[in-house]
Amino acid sequence: MEFDAIKIEVENLTLSYGKRVVFENLSFDIFPRSITALVGPSGIGKSSFLKILNQMIREEEGLHVEGKVLLHNKGLSVDILKLKECELPSLRKKVLYVAQHPDLLPLSIYDNVAFGLRLQGIGKNDINNRIEMSLRDVFLWDEVKERLHVKADILSGGQQQRLILARALAMRPDVLLLDEPTASLNEELSLKIEDLLISLKQKMTIVMISHFKEQVKRVADVIFEMRLPS
């Protein structure tokens, strides 16, 4: 499977909520096949920034975004802030967001991973292969292989966090947006997921939020500090 090398260029990006400016005039590049870590104080808008990158921000009322977010792919450049609603599903196949708090579907472990694949018209055999591969990638397969058709909400918090990461990996995005991907994991599993992310950057562009300073130092190629508006 060949992944696209996507670069994202942020130009003078400002986010406001009513009269409150969350952040303003952000300008930096997110390079393909690299890990960019966002750091900064709580409330600075790190999670909102990730949602801007795949335009999930449009689902939140009262937020206003200005500037440009240019997605460069195969010689073409698109400002994702100007995409029409009908173009967003295509964007979100390429640029996939994984929330900090698991947003599980009220379905089985298997169907949580298979749901998006079915929407893409992927065949059953390929779905089965992707599910096993992605669950192995996040070190969850051995823990759930005998109960794939049990409701996913029986899983522990750490297992749920790995499940939604597996769901994202099964979709094979070109850009992976991760909001505190190891927040619910113990140290051993956190280190394994860090190693996974380092290997994944050979295939895709990764943007992550982490409050673990040592983790950021270990995995990030670029660290971008977001600051409160002056």
Closest residue by Cα to residue 159 from 107, 102, 100: 102
Q: How far is Cα 157 from Cα 39, in angstroms, rounded to an integer?
A: 24
Structural domain of 52: 7-225
Q: How many domains does the chain have?
A: 1
Share the mean pLDDT of the chain: 93
Closest residue by Cα to residue 69 from 42, 47, 91: 91
Closest residue by Cα to residue 64 from 14, 24, 27, 26: 14
Task: State the CATH number of the domain containing residue 219.
Answer: 3.40.50.300
User: Cα angle vertex 220, ends 48, 98, to 5°?
Assistant: 40
Q: What is the mean pLDDT of residues 46-52?
A: 95
Q: What is the mean pLDDT of residues 203-216?
A: 94
Strand order across the beta sheet in which 222-225 lies: 95-98, 175-179, 205-209, 35-39, 222-225
Structure confidence by residue, pLDDT tens digits, 158-170 = 999 999 999 999 9
Q: How far is Cα 192 from Cα 35, in angstroms, rounded to an integer?
A: 16
Residues with Cβ within 8 Å of 206's Cβ and at least 6 positions away in sequence, in order, are 34, 35, 36, 175, 176, 178, 197, 200
Q: Indicate whether 72 pLDDT > 50.
A: yes
| Residue at 1 is within a domain | no
Residue type, 62: G
Beta-bridged to residue 28, according to DSSP, are 10
| Residue at 230 is within a domain | no
Q: How far is Cα 164 from Cα 188, in angstroms, rounded to an integer?
A: 19
Residue 229 pLDDT: 72
Residue 105 pLDDT: 94
Residue 230 pLDDT: 66
| Residue at 2 is within a domain | no
Q: Is 112 helix (H, G, I), strand (E, B) or coil?
A: helix
| Residue at 49 is within a domain | yes
Q: How far is Cα 207 from Cα 183, in angstroms, rounded to an integer?
A: 16
Q: Indicate whether 1 pLDDT > 50.
A: no
Structure confidence by residue, pLDDT tens digits, 8-40 = 999 999 999 988 999 999 999 999 999 999 999
Residue 171 pLDDT: 95
Q: How far is Cα 150 from Cα 180, in angstroms, rounded to an integer?
A: 26
Structure confidence by residue, pLDDT tens digits, 76-119 = 899 999 999 999 999 999 999 999 888 899 999 999 999 999 99
| Residue at 50 is within a domain | yes
Q: How far is Cα 140 from Cα 135, in angstroms, rounded to an integer?
A: 5
Strands 175-179 and 95-98: parallel
Q: Where are the alpha helices (DSSP H) in the chain?
A: 46-53, 88-94, 109-119, 124-137, 141-144, 157-170, 187-200, 213-219
